Each structure stands twice: as structure tokens, then as C-alpha cells.
């Protein structure tokens, strides 16, 4: 497998693992601090992370949670903007496109942040830790009937 494809696969898989840990069944999109702490401990244990790696993982999770909370904070203003738009007599395409573009820009910013942090974290892993991570990702994919299929 090409090195770039492998890195992309690992990045996407890690994003999915953290995302799954962040969301409880039935509470899509809700990030629970305690669930994330448990996920961090589980990842640390399963990969046998050293102290530097543990701190780096915790920092990544904290940064991603912080960004997610910022996005959630503007949720009400975005909803009100949609309500105001719908209440207008006519809706122009430019307004809708602007709203969608703003949302995608915010999401892309978060994805870029997470991808950068994940790449940094991946660089600290030993080959054995990478192997363990790959095994865990495969186990999750098998248990979830392809939920994590890449």
C-alpha cells in the first residue's frame, strides 16, 4: 500500500474512532466529556502510550471538543438565521449559498485542525502501536458491520 494511502486511511480511521467515542447512541453529535475521557484512557491503554503520547492525545481531544463547542454555541444563531430567511416573502439563492458555505467552511476548519493534530500524533507512534491501532480499527469495523468501512 502506498505510504500516502496508508496515512490517509489511518487519519480517517482515527477520526472515526474519536467521533464514535464522542457520540452516544441516540445522542448524535453530543460530545460527552466523560465519554471522551474514557475513550482517551482506552486508547492509551490499548496502544500502551507513553506519557508524552498520552498528553498529546488529551490535548487533541480537548482542542477538538473546544472547537465542537464553539460550533454548537452558534447553533441557535444559525437556526434563527434560517427561520428569518424562511419568513421572508422570497428567498434568494445567494443567501442560501452563503449560509451553506459558512457552515462548510466551519466544518472544514475543524476537519483541518483535527487532521493536523492526528498527523502529529501518528508521528509519535511506534510501529507496534500503529499495528495495534490498525487491529483495533479492524475489530471495530467487524463489530459494527462495516460502520467504519473505509
Q: What is the pLDDT of residues 114-133, one digit of tens each?
A: 888 889 889 999 999 989 88
Q: What is the pLDDT of residues 11-28, one digit of tens each?
A: 555 555 665 555 444 444
Look at residue 145 and give its three-state secondary structure: coil
Burial class (CB in 10 A: 0-12, 13-18, 19+), 3: exposed
**DSSP alpha helices (H): ranges in the chain?**
3-22, 33-47, 51-73, 75-87, 93-124, 127-143
> Is pLDDT at 32 greater than 70 in this prediction?
no
Task: Return the half-sphere exposure (C-beta side, CA atoms, 13 A cut-off) of residue 13.
Answer: 21
Question: Using the 8-state DSSP alphabet, how is residue 88 labeled?
Answer: S
Angle at 63 between CA 111 and CA 54, to 5 degrees: 110
Burial class (CB in 10 A: 0-12, 13-18, 19+), 26: exposed
Q: What is the pLDDT of residues 61-86, one digit of tens each?
A: 888 888 878 877 777 788 888 888 88
pLDDT at residue 6, as a whole number:
59
Look at residue 33 and give its three-state secondary structure: helix
Amino acid at each position: 500500500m502506498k505510504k500516502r494511502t496508508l496515512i490517509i486511511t489511518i487519519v480517517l480511521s482515527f477520526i472515526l474512532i474519536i467521533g464514535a467515542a464522542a457520540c452516544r447512541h441516540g445522542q448524535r453529535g453530543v460530545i460527552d466529556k466523560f465519554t471522551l475521557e474514557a475513550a482517551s484512557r482506552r486508547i492509551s491503554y490499548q496502544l500502551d502510550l507513553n506519557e508524552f503520547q498520552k498528553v498529546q492525545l488529551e490535548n487533541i481531544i480537548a482542542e477538538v471538543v473546544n472547537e465542537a463547542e464553539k460550533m454548537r454555541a452558534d447553533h441557535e444563531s444559525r437556526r434563527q438565521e434560517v427561520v428569518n430567511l424562511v419568513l421572508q416573502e422570497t428567498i434568494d439563492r445567494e443567501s442560501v449559498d452563503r449560509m451553506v458555505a459558512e457552515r462548510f467552511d466551519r466544518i472544514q476548519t475543524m476537519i483541518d485542525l483535527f487532521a493536523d493534530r492526528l498527523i502529529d500524533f501518528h508521528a509519535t507512534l511506534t510501529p507496534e502501536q500503529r499495528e495495534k491501532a490498525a487491529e483495533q480499527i479492524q475489530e471495530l469495523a467487524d463489530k459494527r458491520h462495516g460502520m467504519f468501512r473505509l
